[in-house]
Amino acid sequence: MPTVLIVDDNLLNLELAADVLELAGFDVMMASSGRESIEKAEQAIPDLVLMDLRMPEMSGLEAMQALHNNQITSNIPVAVLTASAMKGDEERLLQSGFSAYLQKPIDPSRFADQVTELIK
């Protein structure tokens, strides 16, 4: 099964997404900061990173850019998973380099299918 690295500074968000994907059979890794996500992505080369946007110290945008600028992790797609849903956000985030846009709160009945689509 594909490996997905979920990044979120909110532990409840992190565990909910992880539980849903683990139940669907994914290999799930978790990171609670941008810095940690870079370390884990370098170690495990996941098939996909699901990245929160608003995190202290290093934002999801900064972490995505660091992953893309890192030789080891530059080919890993990074999807943004965010509650930010202002008009124009999706387009702006995709233009900034995220491979896909998923909205929080996640819908547990659809989330695994949405993630599967991103890995195909």
CB of 19 to Mg ion, least distance (A): 18
Please give the residues from 38 up to 77 whose contact with Mg ion meets the rule CB under 5 A.
Answer: 52, 54-55
- How many C-beta atoms surround the C-beta of residue 18 within 10 A? 18
In angstroms, how far is CA 66 from the centroid of its own chain? 14
How is residue 66 written in tokens? 């660091």
Kindly tell me which residue out of 4, 5, 6, 9 binds Mg ion, with binding defined by CB under 5 A. 9
Do the Cβ atoms of 7 and 31 come closer than 8 Å?
yes
Give the other-Cβ count within 10 Å of 88's Cβ: 7
**Least separation, in Å, of the C-beta of 32 and Mg ion?**
9
2-10, 27-35, 87-95, 102-110 -> range binding Mg ion (CB under 5 A): 2-10
- Enumerate binding residues for Mg ion (CB under 5 A): 9, 52, 54-55
